[in-house]
């Protein structure tokens, strides 16, 4: 008999209030967290009963460690179960027109939506389709959806629940998410933060009191416990309901618990007879099994008797949803303990048996079992199933899952000498390894693939592999001995020339760049395709930029962007990525900062990251620069934090150095010199002068830091505009070098910078305005250039060097500007004339080297209390 829920009166009261609120059309999201075994699932079941009694539609799904590789599995489980309980006409009405959900819920009544080539867009559409389905479910009556054990779930599941929960207040929906306490910074922690911000309900379950433990032990034993028994249980269980249940002969055990609790579970399992132990192990390996599946796998007599024995002892539980019945071990850690006690041979044998049975009904669920069955499955079929599962993982950008499946599939194919499957499996595995940041492992796979192509005399594949490997080497930062991809042939895809260009840029080899650009510009002479036109116009844009003609560079790049839209969806983002990457910078140089902000999104980054793991990080960082130029320093810093996290995920020093240096610059601009210094220290530890992009951003950061601290800088900060690399970073580097030269009264360096800016300003209004500012700074004149920059949407102030302190009256007036007062209001409050206020503000602008009132307001807020 199921024990009473004890010690949770407060939590049940909160949940009851939430159910009542949802019934009154005030939906919400409910997060229930706590350590393993604290009673989250037990509380969920009781809450489901309460909701069902009040007429709610109830849905339930849960994640499982044995199905951790299946994206969106708990949500799919909840929706499939619910749809399976409905009459066919009713379920058809719910699904009508939701084609974007076909990839999530396999149903013959849904035809998949045509692919867009944009994984982010397709995922958003899929999320929106799930939201529409939930809306239809809640149209007739309120719904209570429980998704439990989210700590086992994939990131996509958490993001989908976040999407559903964000708008739950507008629907009759109570969305319950149960999980073990999240680590700081993880996706579950982010979900909890969102719930708190949006006034959801968050319950962190605490251990039971000693009084509640006594009640629970009494319920489990059927009689009040003796004092010594209760004392022993209380001391060992420490208020965790699961521990209490395990210690007194029933219940569940969580992961990561003290060894003593594991001993209790093993003791219980060892008291089972052989048949019961074997059935429990079978269910543990299967994860969740229907009676039909379990019967087909059970080779002994007495299935029903053994199943009933396990059920009565609380070791397994029934999952009933309408006509659908399945069984699972009552807690994931019972399953884990059972699984761990099996030998490797026993596990593989059970996985092989389950794989064969599931292959006839659900290939997707069979894949994890094919993966873990070793050589006990048909290797040909294993290659097919695991290859398909790996491709699906690549399609949804789950690199780790793809590595898990494709590595095993490749092993099977090589053991069979299954030559026709090996190349595709190698390519997929190498791409997945690159996307995971495992660049050395990816290089090893490409080496193997190249050796095979060479032995077969397959010249075309050698060239293609040469491109892949060359891009990998560029990403690894191998510029001292840069790889040269095989000679580009006229029948090669145009993307090959983009690879040649990338390698030349990474090597900072201008002669090689020009050679590649000539081939790119002339590509349409023998290939008349949208892809060739993208590459040709992109090449013309780069050539114009290197030549200092920013107007032509923007025009050619815009043509390339438009040509990319004519390419088929499968290749569009690969060709459009680099073109879109330089678009924001060219728009800034053209003097259109708002358009640059709109151009900072680059969906191609997620496609290209399989070849260039830093692709996403580049896009994030470019947005940081444009936000800074537009005057939104807080948003720029937020993006910089994201850029650092993405760079550290790749594990590449070059990218980490770039991201940290960019953040150090923004921190210095924000006046946070201590944190800027910390970032610069990390930058110096991974600094490599052979990477020109790292040199540029480091010079910029150290120049901004030196302006405020008087620190030394390298001579490279005063170099002219570089023809290659990130032109936004380089433009800011030259501008700040000019500020520093003026501050240090280095007239020769200041004149040099002025010459660089004037040369670029011939075809760039933005650079021309910066040249005007440099002249005004050198002459000690007012910053009239700030007005020109402001008209372009750029809020760039000259950094405050702190060399001219404000007077007491000036500081008082600036403080009131920071409070949002107008000149008239300030004059009235201080009993001064507006003309006097204007004079003080004029002097303040000059002393602080600021040119706009928003910049002065920001300065006032940053220095409030100084």
Same domain, 639 and 676: yes
Tell me which of 174, 206, 238 is where a domain ends.
206
pLDDT at residue 21 is higher than 80: yes
Same domain, 625 and 758: yes
Same domain, 75 and 195: yes
Q: Check residue 355 and give its pLDDT.
A: 87
Q: Check residue 265 and give its pLDDT.
A: 66
* HSE-CB for 217 with a 13 A CA cutoff: 27
Secondary structure of 768-825 in HEC code, one letter for each residue:
HHHHHHHHHHHHCCCCCHHHHHHHCCCCCCCCCCCCCCCCHHHHHHHHHHHCCCCHHH
Is 837 within the bounds of a domain?
yes
Same domain, 172 and 35: yes
Tell me which of 586, 606, 626 is where a domain ends.
606
pLDDT at residue 663 is higher than 50: yes
pLDDT at residue 88 is higher than 60: yes
Give the rounded distance of the alpha carbon of 740 from its chain centre.
38
Same domain, 658 and 573: no
Contacts 24+ apart (CB under 8 A), 857-865: 857/817, 857/818, 857/820, 858/633, 859/800, 859/814, 859/818, 860/814, 860/815, 860/817, 860/818, 860/819, 861/818, 862/670, 862/671, 863/671, 864/815, 864/818
Is 384 within the bounds of a domain?
no
Tell me which of 160, 188, 206 is where a domain ends.
206
The mean pLDDT value for 547-564 works out to 92
**Count of structural domains within the chain:** 4
- The more confident residue out of 336 and 523 is 523
Is 845 within the bounds of a domain?
yes
Q: Check residue 252 and give its pLDDT.
A: 37
DSSP 151: G
Q: Check residue 673 and give its pLDDT.
A: 84
Q: Check residue 762 and give its pLDDT.
A: 93
Tell me the per-residue pLDDT of 668-687, one tens digit each, with 9 for 90 and over. Answer: 888 888 889 999 999 998 88
Tell me the per-residue pLDDT of 503-535, one tens digit each, with 9 for 90 and over. Answer: 777 777 788 888 888 988 998 888 889 999 999
Query: Counting Cβ atoms within 10 Å, is residue 608 exposed (0-12), middle (13-18) or buried (19+)?
Result: buried
Same domain, 561 and 689: no
Q: Check residue 700 and give its pLDDT.
A: 92
Tell me the torsion sign for CA atoms 452, 458, 459, 464: negative
Which residues, in sequence order, are bridge partners of residue 324? 321
Tell me how far apart the alpha carbons of residues 483 and 306 are, in angstroms, rounded to a whole number. 64
- The more confident residue out of 195 and 295 is 295
Is 355 within the bounds of a domain?
no
Tell me how far apart the alpha carbons of residues 491 and 445 are, in angstroms, rounded to a whole number. 26
| Range in 267-271, 501-505, 549-553, 575-579 with the lowest mean pLDDT | 267-271
Same domain, 771 and 832: no
Give the rounded distance of the alpha carbon of 134 from its chain centre.
25
| Range in 321-335, 423-437, 808-822 with the lowest mean pLDDT | 321-335
Containing domain of residue 556, as a range? 458-606
Read off the tokens for 658: 């770039």
Same domain, 706 and 557: no
Q: Check residue 481 and give its pLDDT.
A: 46
Same domain, 566 and 502: yes
Same domain, 591 and 661: no
Is 21 within the bounds of a domain?
yes
Proportion of the chain above pLDDT 70, given as a percent: 89
Is 257 within the bounds of a domain?
no
Same domain, 628 and 554: no
Q: Check residue 241 and give its pLDDT.
A: 79
Q: What is the CATH number of the domain that holds 826?
A: 1.10.10.10
Tell me how far apart the alpha carbons of residues 395 and 576 are, in angstroms, rounded to a whole number. 19
pLDDT at residue 482 is higher than 60: no
Tell me the per-residue pLDDT of 277-288, one tens digit each, with 9 for 90 and over. Answer: 889 888 888 888
pLDDT at residue 118 is higher than 80: no
Is 270 within the bounds of a domain?
no
The Cα angle at residue 380 between residues 376 and 383, in degrees rounded to 5: 90
Same domain, 516 and 657: no
- Between helix 119-140 and helix 88-95 the angle, nearest 10°, is 130
The mean pLDDT value for 364-391 works out to 87
pLDDT at residue 844 is higher than 60: yes
Q: How confident is the model at residue 480 (pLDDT cuts 50, 70, 90)?
A: very low
The mean pLDDT value for 75-101 works out to 85
| Range in 47-51, 272-276, 313-317 with the lowest mean pLDDT | 313-317
Is 237 within the bounds of a domain?
no
Most confident listed range (88-102, 352-366, 405-419, 695-709): 695-709
* HSE-CB for 86 with a 13 A CA cutoff: 17
Most confident listed range (181-185, 533-537, 862-866): 533-537
Tell me the per-residue pLDDT of 260-272, one tens digit each, with 9 for 90 and over. Answer: 566 656 766 777 8
């Amino acid at each position: 008999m199921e024990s009473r829920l004890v010690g949770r009166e407060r939590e049940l009261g909160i949940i009851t209030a939430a159910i009542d609120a949802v019934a009154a059309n005030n939906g919400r999201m409910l997060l229930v967290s706590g350590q393993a075994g604290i009673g989250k699932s037990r509380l969920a079941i009781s809450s489901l009963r309460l909701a069902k009694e009040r007429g709610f539609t109830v849905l339930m799904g849960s994640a499982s460690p044995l199905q951790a590789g299946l994206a969106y599995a708990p949500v799919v489980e909840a929706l499939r179960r619910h749809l399976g309980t409905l009459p066919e006409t009713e379920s058809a009405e719910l699904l009508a027109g939701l084609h974007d959900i076909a990839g999530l819920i396999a149903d013959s009544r849904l035809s998949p939506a045509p692919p867009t080539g944009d994984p982010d867009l397709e995922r958003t559409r899929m999320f929106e389709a799930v939201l529409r389905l939930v809306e239809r479910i809640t149209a007739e009556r309120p719904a209570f959806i429980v998704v439990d054990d989210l700590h086992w779930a994939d990131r996509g599941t958490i993001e989908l629940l976040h999407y559903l929960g964000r708008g739950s207040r507008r629907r009759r929906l109570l969305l319950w998410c149960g999980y073990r306490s999240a680590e700081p910074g993880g996706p579950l922690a982010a979900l909890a933060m969102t719930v708190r911000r949006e006034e959801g309900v968050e319950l962190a379950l605490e251990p039971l009191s000693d009084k509640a433990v006594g009640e629970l032990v009494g319920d489990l034993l059927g009689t009040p416990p003796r004092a010594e028994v209760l004392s022993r249980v209380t001391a060992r269980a420490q208020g965790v309901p699961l521990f209490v249940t395990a210690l007194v002969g029933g219940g569940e055990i969580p992961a990561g618990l003290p060894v003593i609790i594991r001993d209790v579970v093993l003791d219980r399992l060892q008291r089972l007879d052989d048949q019961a132990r074997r059935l429990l192990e079978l269910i543990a390996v299967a994860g969740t099994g229907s009676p039909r599946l379990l019967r087909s796998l059970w080779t002994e007599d007495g299935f029903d008797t053994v199943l009933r024995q396990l059920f009565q002892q609380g070791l397994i539980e029934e999952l009933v949803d309408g006509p659908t019945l399945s069984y699972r071990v009552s807690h994931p850690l019972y399953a884990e303990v059972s699984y761990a006690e099996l030998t490797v041979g026993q596990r593989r044998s059970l996985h092989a048996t389950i794989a064969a049975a599931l292959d006839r009904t659900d290939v997707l669920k069979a894949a994890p079992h094919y993966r873990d069955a070793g050589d006990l499955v048909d290797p040909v079929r294993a290659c097919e199933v695991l290859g398909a599962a790996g491709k699906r993982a690549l399609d949804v950008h789950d690199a780790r899952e793809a590595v898990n499946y494709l590595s095993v599939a490749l092993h099977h194919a090589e053991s069979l000498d299954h030559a026709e499957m090996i190349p595709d499996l190698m390519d997929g595995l190498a791409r997945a390894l690159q996307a995971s940041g495992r660049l050395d492992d990816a290089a090893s796979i490409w080496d193997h693939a190249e050796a095979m192509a060479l032995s077969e005399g397959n010249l075309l594949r050698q060239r293609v592999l040469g491109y892949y490997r060359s891009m990998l080497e560029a990403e690894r930062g191998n510029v001292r001995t840069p790889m040269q991809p095989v000679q580009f042939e006229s029948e090669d895809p145009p993307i090959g020339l983009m690879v040649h260009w990338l390698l030349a840029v990474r090597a900072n080899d201008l002669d090689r760049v020009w050679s590649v650009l000539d081939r790119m510009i002339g590509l349409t002479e023998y290939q008349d395709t949208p892809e060739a036109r993208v590459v040709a116009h992109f090449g013309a844009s780069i050539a114009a930029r290197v030549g200092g003609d920013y107007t032509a560079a923007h025009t050619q790049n815009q043509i390339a962007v438009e040509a990319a839209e004519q390419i088929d969806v499968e290749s569009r983002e690969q060709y459009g990525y680099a073109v879109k990457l330089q678009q924001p910078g060219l728009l800034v140089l053209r003097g259109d900062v708002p358009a640059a902000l709109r151009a900072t999104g680059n969906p191609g980054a997620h496609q290209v990251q399989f070849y260039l793991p830093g692709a996403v990080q580049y896009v994030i960082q470019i947005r940081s620069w444009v936000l800074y130029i537009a005057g939104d320093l807080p948003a720029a810093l937020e993006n910089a934090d994201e850029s650092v996290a993405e760079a550290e995920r790749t594990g590449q020093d070059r990218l980490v150095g770039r991201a940290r240096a960019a953040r150090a610059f923004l921190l210095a601009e924000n006046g946070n010199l201590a944190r800027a210094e910390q970032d610069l220290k990390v930058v110096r530890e991974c600094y490599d002068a052979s990477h020109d992009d790292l040199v540029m951003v480091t010079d910029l950061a150290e120049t901004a830091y030196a302006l405020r601290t008087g620190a030394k800088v390298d001579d490279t900060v005063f170099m002219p505009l570089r023809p290659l690399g990130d032109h936004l970073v380089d433009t800011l580097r030259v501008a700040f070098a000019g500020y520093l030269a003026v501050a240090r009264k280095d007239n020769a360096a200041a004149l040099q910078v002025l010459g660089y800016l004037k040369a670029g300003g011939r075809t760039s209004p933005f650079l021309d305005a910066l040249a005007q500012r440099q002249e005004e700074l050198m002459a000690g004149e007012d910053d009239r250039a700030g007005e020109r920059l402001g008209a372009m949407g750029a809020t760039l102030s000259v950094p405050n060097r702190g060399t001219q302190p404000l007077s007491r009256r000036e500081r008082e007036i600036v403080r009131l500007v920071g409070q949002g007062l107008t000149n008239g209001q300030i004059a009235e409050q201080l009993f001064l004339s507006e003309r006097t206020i204007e004079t003080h503000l004029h002097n303040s602008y000059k002393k602080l080297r600021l040119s706009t009132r928003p910049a002065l307001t920001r300065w006032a807020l940053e220095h409030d209390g100084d």
